[in-house]
Amino acid sequence: MSAQGLIHGPLGRNCIHLCVDMQGLFEAGAPWAVPWMERVVPVIEALTEAHAPATIFTRFIPVKRAEEAPGSWSRYYRRWADVTLEKIDPALVEIVPNLARFVPPARVFDKHVYSPWTEGALDRLLGGSETDAIVITGGETDVCVLATVLGAVDRGYRVVLVADAICSSADETHDALMRVYRSRFSEQIELATVEEILDDWRL
């Protein structure tokens, strides 16, 4: 589905770029490989290069072992036992090198569930700042990006999804979510290309 552009006008100095889970865990050959990831990393890299100080990379950190996870997460990690911290190569939780090179001034934020908002640390990180808009990239469109988007919407941020810089492992659900983002949240979510954002993010 095509992007709409920045329908609410240019972005300004109070915008941040929140890049979701661009980690080794999701690269080709990894346990949770996302085939599209290699396609979007260069796009995210271009955006980050232009706005590194305003960028926050999230990392999804699995539990050490399934028994430590609460509720249905315990069942989840029994299914994905090979992705617990006691079994995976620790390097897989790191941000991919093409993006990690921007840290610092970009920052890294760790989370243990799909949403970066649930544990309150992101609210504290942004607390006291004048952030009013969040540009979102990363993966997956229909899991962690979805949770990130909805949390930002609930908090009243202007939310801009970079249409050519988000990815999923499933075309069908990616396409479905893009339709939902555009049609059901038309007043609260904008879809723009990285080119449009780079042209209209004014410092």
N-term to C-term CA, the chain = 29
Backbone angles phi, psi at 111, to 5 degrees: -140, 165
Instruction: Determine the pLDDT at residue 110.
Output: 96
What is the average per-residue pLDDT within 48-76?
A: 96
Percent of the chain's residues with pLDDT above 90: 82
What is the average per-residue pLDDT within 63-90?
A: 94
DSSP 110: E
In this predicted structure, the answer to whether residue 3 has a pLDDT above a threshold of 90 is: no
Q: Which CATH number fits domain 15-63+90-200: 1.10.3720.10, 1.10.390.10, 3.40.50.850, 3.30.360.10?
A: 3.40.50.850
In this predicted structure, the answer to whether residue 91 has a pLDDT above a threshold of 70 is: yes
Q: How confident is the model at residue 2 (pLDDT cuts 50, 70, 90)?
A: low
HSE at residue 99, side-chain half, CA atoms within 13 A, is 32
What is the average per-residue pLDDT within 118-126?
A: 91
What is the average per-residue pLDDT within 95-121?
A: 96
Q: How confident is the model at residue 152 (pLDDT cuts 50, 70, 90)?
A: very high
CA 97, CA 95: separation in Å to the nearest integer? 6
Instruction: Determine the pLDDT at residue 128.
Output: 82
DSSP state letters, 115-169: -SSTTSHHHHHHTTS---EEEEEEE-TTTHHHHHHHHHHHTT-EEEEEEEEEE-S
